[in-house]
Structure 1
């Protein structure tokens, strides 16, 4: 038996050795891939369409698609909610598509599904948005459903109860999540008594929302002077003008919004810790940022990409995670709050490691503020942010949303044509000047939630 086994092993070694020798003498033929022809990108033309009721829309017409997408932004988000109704705006956004006019929630959703119509609502600190996508042949019905949702939402008792239960469950889950808890505490400590301190729903606020308070929101915020509209897809100017008149003429002419004051956070470099029994800690950090309307905004985007907004390509990701293994994730972003723009970062790490990660963030924050980007970093940031720009035009829905956002931010109608040129025009000296303006280490405020060691 042993002899047989030895023969088998010897045979295996010899045959595999021979095979290895045969493999070694095989000459590899290089694979020649066909040349890739660069496809030129054409920025689509944007036209302004004005209806007889005064409603204006920016339109990108594209006859090759069967779809039409519409995005509407109304001023007045969660920061406009009364203090006792903290959660009113997200509750409204959850319910506006759940029944309108004579259609109950189930009926409306069934018709939308059968007609392949998508009607969605969302909200933020400063806005409520409505997004509609439809096949061209169903455009009349689709726009009419949007009209009903904005002017005659039902807010039925059953739908209201379900939306409240879902939102209360989300509030409860947020309390046990270090990331969400850190963001909520950051807002409260930074903005103190300003409306931005309470833009996240509270349990008491959600419970206090009634059908009458939802109806009041609709009457006061959905008006023709308080909206911007972006449209993209297979629709002509004349067709759009007619639909704008039919869809929005029933809205009030003027909105009634609370006065939200501008706010500049008065922050110092310190760390606030909220203890939570969790295996890891989460941190939110930052200070005042640069407004969207500022001439330095595009330079700030380039700086942020290199510093923390560029994912794997950013300094913070490289220093904190790749080189030192101190965090699961770390990133920065510009938060364009209308009355108090912020520059924010987030970080998550083991309780034992987060103090070291924070030390690196502080050091890199000061270094970027003092020295700015390198030549390579600026070049790479421009290459990515200008090269990825065409991805904004890959869907009608994305285009419509982009057009509405441009108007909301006060951009000119030629923004699409000029955007990449403005980025490419940023010099190294410009970027370094803006880095010193964007990053203020003396004001860098951290909120940490968890059981962090050595903090």
Structure 2
């Protein structure tokens, strides 16, 4: 849960030099904590991003939502400071501290003025190594999570995504609800929260990126304030690699709404796949390039079927996904689905044009620097580069990987990934006119529950 303790009066925007000019340093603290650093002294701000391997996929059976609940409680008191005192201290020092959990990671973010950095790192160390998890705070944040569950159960896109994941990963942790359900959230105890953080928050399980107004020596000292009290080794249960699978083409979830929300997808690529950069170029042409993409051209501009349609590659630690989405009038769902299928198959059969390749490379290389537009986003990039083992000079080399992609490679990868027979569709609404060759889940078209699960 992204639970920001303080929105400081200053926007923590720190525009960096061009990405290729950024010098990345590896900093090792006296206590052995490792972080990557980009120094940027033009603004007196420091951003820290970090993550621990093991997110909601590590939740125990029956206590789904544990990682998510923990992320909402880590700044609700720590050490000798209760929730009110801890957040007051953050407020006084204009510190932003937030935590989040996804399927694969527990992550955190810290932004501070340079003058308050020592205190900021100390407070972060307290939150990570000695969180309170006081019962009143646990009860309050549980109610917040349950409220989020209820809202999401009424949002067609949230319902569709959760159904797609549950059907595609039926017997795998990726199929579980990351926020749990009412029963699992109620079942979680303070002891569960302490055990989860103690097992995951360890020096051999953390990746850290820092950008801003701090030098390597000072950062080394401050890293120990935040991380040196963690245990040496994590105790995280291994998660098996998995390929999404399904028995039917379409799962229809009935909701009385004027337009249907459609999620579709299939197996994709993990980040370490040799075809990753080729697939990025291919997907830009197909569905991630906005008005430059084929799907937007065919679905929106030519036919007016939907306001937006897109596809993306989602590399999780233990699976790769190719995911798309569109929302359209119930009466035009069938036509929209058929147009999308036709365009996907057309790219698989005939590939892309030379001009499409040029345009994709131009955008993908030119937009890369935007990922470093703030100190926070740049620190996040440092974390991602470390996570995938891309090397300290990756920022300088990344665009070369894109430029090296050939049209023959794109067309080969399109045939590898884009097979319409492998697509699984989840539709929330009252869709009409679906293609007759699509098999529908036997229990489809049942009324959507108003329960609180998410």
TM over 0.5, yes or no?
A: yes
Mind listing any 5+ residue stretches in structure 1 that lack a counterpart?
1-38
* Structure 1 pair 269–365 and aligned structure 2 pair: CA distance change class (3 A): farther
Mind listing any 5+ residue stretches in structure 2 that lack a counterpart?
1-16, 435-454
- Residue 352 in structure 1 maps to residue 331 in structure 2: yes
Whether the 8 Å contact between 1:369 and 1:441 is mirrored in structure 2 is no
SS in 1 for 2:103: coil
* Partner residue, 1:253: 232
Query: 1:267 deviation in Å?
Result: 4.4
SS in 2 for 1:335: strand
Match of 2:279 among 300, 314, 317: 300
- Residue 114 in structure 1 maps to residue 67 in structure 2: no
Deviating beyond 3 angstroms after TM superposition, the runs of 4 or more aligned structure 1 residues are 39-42, 266-269
Whether the 8 Å contact between 1:85 and 1:205 is mirrored in structure 2 is yes
CA distance in 1, matches of 2:82, 2:235: 28
Query: 1:436 deviation in Å?
Result: 1.7
CA distance in 1, matches of 2:194, 2:305: 49
CA distance in 2, matches of 1:80, 1:445: 26
- Residue 83 in structure 1 maps to residue 70 in structure 2: no
* Structure 1 pair 41–217 and aligned structure 2 pair: CA distance change class (3 A): closer
CA distance in 1, matches of 2:117, 2:157: 41
* Partner residue, 1:28: none
- Residue 413 in structure 1 maps to residue 392 in structure 2: yes
Deviations 1:151-175 (A, max 9, x none): 1111122221221111111111222
* Structure 1 pair 216–260 and aligned structure 2 pair: CA distance change class (3 A): same
* Partner residue, 2:42: 64
Whether the 8 Å contact between 1:92 and 1:214 is mirrored in structure 2 is yes
Match of 1:218 among 165, 175, 197: 197
CA distance in 2, matches of 1:102, 1:216: 20
SS in 2 for 1:85: coil
Alignment of 1:308-387 (within 5 A): 308-387=287-366
Aligned length: 417
* Partner residue, 2:244: 265
CA distance in 2, matches of 1:175, 1:86: 16
CA distance in 1, matches of 2:353, 2:85: 58
* Structure 1 pair 426–150 and aligned structure 2 pair: CA distance change class (3 A): same
Higher CA-based Rg:
1
SS in 2 for 1:83: coil
Query: 1:231 deviation in Å?
Result: 0.6
Deviations 1:329-370 (A, max 9, x none): 211111111111111011111111111100111111111112
* Structure 1 pair 269–382 and aligned structure 2 pair: CA distance change class (3 A): farther
- Residue 176 in structure 1 maps to residue 138 in structure 2: no
* Structure 1 pair 242–41 and aligned structure 2 pair: CA distance change class (3 A): closer
Whether the 8 Å contact between 2:167 and 2:246 is mirrored in structure 1 is no
* Partner residue, 1:397: 376
* Partner residue, 2:446: none
* Structure 1 pair 434–394 and aligned structure 2 pair: CA distance change class (3 A): same
What RMSD, in angstroms, separates the aligned Cα atoms of the two structures? 1.5
Structure having the larger proportion of residues in helix? 1
* Partner residue, 2:415: 436
Match of 1:53 among 28, 31, 47: 31
Query: 1:438 deviation in Å?
Result: 2.5
Whether the 8 Å contact between 1:393 and 1:399 is mirrored in structure 2 is yes
CA distance in 1, matches of 2:45, 2:33: 22
- Residue 101 in structure 1 maps to residue 79 in structure 2: yes
CA distance in 1, matches of 2:430, 2:178: 24
Whether the 8 Å contact between 1:332 and 1:344 is mirrored in structure 2 is yes
SS in 1 for 2:300: helix
Match of 2:141 among 160, 163, 171: 163
